[in-house]
Structure 1
Amino acid sequence: MTSRVQERSELDPALQAVADAASGAGLPPMVELTPPQARERIRGALQACAPGPEVASIKTCSVTDGVSVRIYRPTQVTHAGTVVHFHGGGWVTGDFDYADPLCRLLADTCGVPVVSVDYRLAPEHPFPAAVDDAETVLRWVASGSEGLDPRIVVTGDSAGGNLAAVSALLMRSDDEVTLVGQVLIYPVVDADLTRDSYVDNSGVFLGAREMGWFFDHYCPDVNARISPDISPIHAADPSGLPPAVVVVGGHDPLLDEGLEYAERLRGAGVLVEVQHYPTLPHGFLQFTAVSGAAAAAAEAVAASTLRLFEDAARQSDSIEAVDHA
């Protein structure tokens, strides 16, 4: 039988060059940095991500003490709804600027406002602070704050994908919050660092050591990491969730858990679209300035987000037609 490692494609050459340059730079590994040092390193690499398109306006609002959002308004509003986006960075790094290009792209492609969430980071604010902040912002948007449409597609990459998935689970029985979709981009949905994809792919931008470092800061209690509020793959019943787009990379340590989560959602009757990019590693949306494959994937992710709004609109129209029949 051919192994999964043999079946997968080679790493995108542009990103292989980035990985080679990083390994030859002589920098200490992230696990040897303090959280502030890690944040500075991530900020220093933002130029690898192409700037997003122009938008009509950008406004920063304080939602509650310690939690702010940046609202991107598209140049043309074409659909009803709001994207709420959670940035990646292992719950320890990342900020508004980290998410800026993707939020611009989502606003421009979907024709809806995008709310980027600057949730509190660990270790200063460990679990469940980020989850609490995610719920707070979703309720803030759902209440119509800043004139935002309460029909929400929640999106996120990596640790942000974790918060998006966790939020979808927590909000499905909340009558005040209407989620019409979830876009989980190479999401953290499990705390098991021994999966085959970790063995195969550790060392390409992210590995078991780095994820262990992130988890240790975010949730020091190892036994608590099986909670669905940290590892949504352990949710006993994922039925009733909104349609999902699950995005995975073939060279990502998180590949296996992402694919398994998609299958669990499907098994529970949730509509799921999987976007599998065999040549791309974890975090590829941060490399759209150097990789054509990553840039094309970003466009496809945005297009899938748009389809969630279009599908929600069609469903709403169908319900109205039945009600008036």
Structure 2
Amino acid sequence: MPLHPQVKAHLDRLAAVNFGSLHTVSPEQARAGARRLTAASVGEPEKVAEVCNRVAATEAGEVPMRVYRPIGVPMGGPALPVVVFFHGGGYVLGDLDSHDGLARALSNGSQSVVVSVDYPLAPENKFPAPINAGYAATKWVADNAGELCVDPARLAVAGDSAGGNLAAVVTLKARAAEQPHIGFQLLVYPDLDFRRTNQSISEFAGKYGNIPREAQEWFMNHYITTEDDKLHPFVSPLLQPDLSGLPPAFIITAEYDALRDEGEEYGQRLAAAGVPVTVKRYDGMIHEFLRHPFDDAKVAIGDATAALRDFFDPVATPADQAWAEDHH
């Protein structure tokens, strides 16, 4: 289908601003521009019961986090399920503030505690530093479940774009280490293949809000050290030979997203390996659409949080489901 009218209006507004080429600026300049863009586009944040910032002492050093507790769950009640969330931004951009709205929506919609991880960014922290911090943060959440009042048996990971890459890789690392137990993975238009050779990359680079080839290289070169790194399964999880034994997944893709095909191919490979997986493509949508006030973003967040609730409470009553939908 054609671009959704709301998406087209958004892209027209962006074109009118006439941002400079990303690959011609420094990471610091790009981060400053991204923060300005976030500040200009974010409306009133969705209310949650509690938000607190903390710094976790992990095996990979100190990792800042932001912990969200959902509305509608009494404090001091039973331990809640938990989602460890990794923001997008090509491993160079993004922070706790850029994805604050999405983290709030995931917390309320899934009735879980969301722990958003402020992992170290490249190029100051190249591969594998962000992955090591992401894995250590996830393990810390499981190991400190009592302090956080969460249930480590109902732990999911989630992330969008580069954060989807990180969520997938943390899941692979947890499988290899046999800890912590990750029960579900929510991958939102994930970046899973640094070869950049599929059809959607070729067709959409530089169009529909997707970054051009030069900017793709800018991000990748800040993150990795050698060309061979692109083929490492912890950089390109799509190249992981064995995907068996991984937790169930819900994968969101967008019709006009350059990363569309690798997300969908990862879903096919998970299914072929016997992993329960749902892949849903949102027609007329673009990369990062969940962070914009599009009607279909609300639909996708509803679908994602429903998938999380099904994992957290597979025997939820219809009344429970109705409550969650009313309070989304």
CA distance in 1, matches of 2:130, 2:44: 26
Contact 2:126 2:223 in 1 (8 A): yes
2:243 maps to 1:238: yes
Contact 1:183 1:245 in 2 (8 A): yes
Contact 2:195 2:230 in 1 (8 A): no
From 191, 214, 221, give the equivalent of 1:216: 221
Instruction: Report the equivalent of 1:99.
Output: 99
Instruction: Report the equivalent of 2:320.
Output: none
Secondary structure in 2 aligned to 1:182? Answer: strand
- Per-residue deviation, 1:52: 4.3
Contact 1:79 1:309 in 2 (8 A): no
2:287 maps to 1:294: no
CA distance in 1, matches of 2:295, 2:179: 41
CA 1:98 to 1:106, structure 2 compared with 1: closer, same or farther past 3 Å?
same
Greater Cα offset, 94-103 or 304-313: 304-313
TM-score (norm 1): 0.88
Instruction: Report the equivalent of 2:184.
Output: 181
CA distance in 2, matches of 1:182, 1:312: 19
From 193, 202, 217, give the equivalent of 2:196: 193
Contact 1:91 1:121 in 2 (8 A): yes
Code of the aligned partner of 1:25: V
2:166 maps to 1:163: yes
Instruction: Report the equivalent of 2:134.
Output: 134
Cα distance per residue 1:91-120 (max 9 Å; x no partner): 000001111111111111111111000000
Instruction: Report the equivalent of 2:285.
Output: 280
CA 1:173 to 1:299, structure 2 compared with 1: closer, same or farther past 3 Å?
same
Code of the aligned partner of 1:262: G
2:42 maps to 1:75: no
User: Structure 1, unaligned stretches of length 5 or more?
Assistant: 1-8, 315-325
- Number of corresponding residues: 304
Contact 2:80 2:113 in 1 (8 A): no
2:310 maps to 1:307: yes
- Per-residue deviation, 1:296: 2.4
From 11, 14, 20, give the equivalent of 1:22: 14
Code of the aligned partner of 2:108: D
2:33 maps to 1:31: no
Secondary structure in 2 aligned to 1:114? Answer: strand
CA distance in 2, matches of 1:34, 1:308: 41
Code of the aligned partner of 1:118: D
Instruction: Report the equivalent of 1:318.
Output: none
RMSD over aligned CA atoms reads: 1.9
Cα distance per residue 1:181-211 (max 9 Å; x no partner): 0000000010122311012212222233322
CA distance in 2, matches of 1:41, 1:245: 31
CA 1:69 to 1:212, structure 2 compared with 1: closer, same or farther past 3 Å?
same
- Percent of counterpart pairs with the same letter? 36
TM-score (norm 2): 0.87
Contact 1:248 1:255 in 2 (8 A): yes
CA 1:307 to 1:209, structure 2 compared with 1: closer, same or farther past 3 Å?
farther
- Per-residue deviation, 1:86: 0.1
- Per-residue deviation, 1:168: 0.8
- Per-residue deviation, 1:293: 2.1
CA 1:312 to 1:69, structure 2 compared with 1: closer, same or farther past 3 Å?
farther
CA 1:75 to 1:24, structure 2 compared with 1: closer, same or farther past 3 Å?
closer
Instruction: Report the equivalent of 1:256.
Output: 261
